[in-house]
Amino acid sequence: MYSVLKSIRTTNFLLFTLMGLLVYGAVAMPLSPAFRGLSTTALFDWMKTAPLTASWWLYGSMAVLFLLAVNTVACSIESVLRKRKGRQWLLTTSPQVIHAGFCFILLAHLVSSYGSFHKHAVLYEGYGVRLQSGIEVRLKDVSSSGESGHVTEMTATVVYRYPDGRIAEDTVSPNNPSFIDGIGLYLKKVATDPAPAALVLFSYEPGAPLALIGGVLFLSGILTLVVLKLQDKDRSLDYEV
């Protein structure tokens, strides 16, 4: 059983199966009305109410991803057990760092599938909303400037009132979101007529820190592997000369 789990043939089979399921999903999603609320709802919350005829390929994809993660860990263990000293050890472990980054990214998606959300809201000047944590978010003012009939810059000032009475203020713009208790507040649009208002997006991704760790590991492993491979190539050319 272990020999099957660590096999590269198993990896290739799982990848081809995953690609087939995802291609099917890419075709099926636009055709099914059941997927309309998926972009604003955590994946597992959506799957609880989605019909199995629409979501079966997602269950299959998650099962394949789980097996792929197990296969990745098994391959990494097998490789590390055969490691060598010095620079060759770095050459051996660099792919395992890439594998670790891949697993962290998978874990990040798993965590976000349980508790993430993306909600739009229209905030009018002087009014706001209350988050589940009890923090009140109120729109203080908005401003925008344009040129030739097109908006070139827009900002909004928001005020946070905490349950203990503390008050904080922040300014948001399209490329400058505000974060409160891990929730991102993104400015999408502002209006001054008939009343000053802002369209904002509240976004929460609990898996973001894990995804960042995975991305750093993945990139550092690739860079280390490329540098060592290039050094090996240069050394072999020197020997030939």
Per-residue pLDDT for the chain (241 aa), expressed as one digit of tens each? 667 777 778 888 999 999 999 999 999 888 888 888 777 778 888 888 888 888 899 999 999 999 988 888 887 777 777 665 545 677 777 888 888 898 899 899 888 888 788 888 999 998 889 988 889 999 999 988 877 667 778 899 999 999 888 999 999 998 899 998 888 999 999 888 888 899 999 998 888 899 999 999 999 989 988 888 777 665 554 444 4
Partnered with residue 12 across adjacent β-strands are none
Q: How much is the pLDDT for 241? A: 45
**How far is it, in rounded angstroms, from Cα 77 to Cα 56?**
32
Domain ranges of the chain: 2-116+209-240, 117-204
Number of CB atoms found within 10 A of residue 198's CB: 25
Q: How far apart are the C-alpha atoms of 121 and 111, rounded to whole Å? A: 25
Identify the pLDDT of residue 54: 87
Q: What is the pLDDT of residue 83?
A: 62
Which CATH number describes the domain made up of 117-204?
2.60.98.10
Q: Rounded distance, CA 63 to CA 164, Å? A: 45
Residue type, 188: K
pLDDT of residue 86: 46
Cα distance between residue 93 and residue 49, in whole Å: 43
Q: b/e for 69-108, b at 16 or more Cβ within 10 A?
A: bebbbbbbeeeeeeeeeeeeeebebbbbbbbbbbbbbbbb
C-alpha span between 221 and 236 (Å, rounded): 23
Q: Are 173 and 199 in contact (CB under 8 A)?
A: no
pTM of the model: 0.70
CB-CB contact of 187 with 177 (8 Å): yes
Backbone angles phi and psi of 8, in degrees to 5: -70, -25
Tokens of residue 22, six digits? 């995802």
Residue 106 and residue 98: Cα distance in Å, rounded? Answer: 13
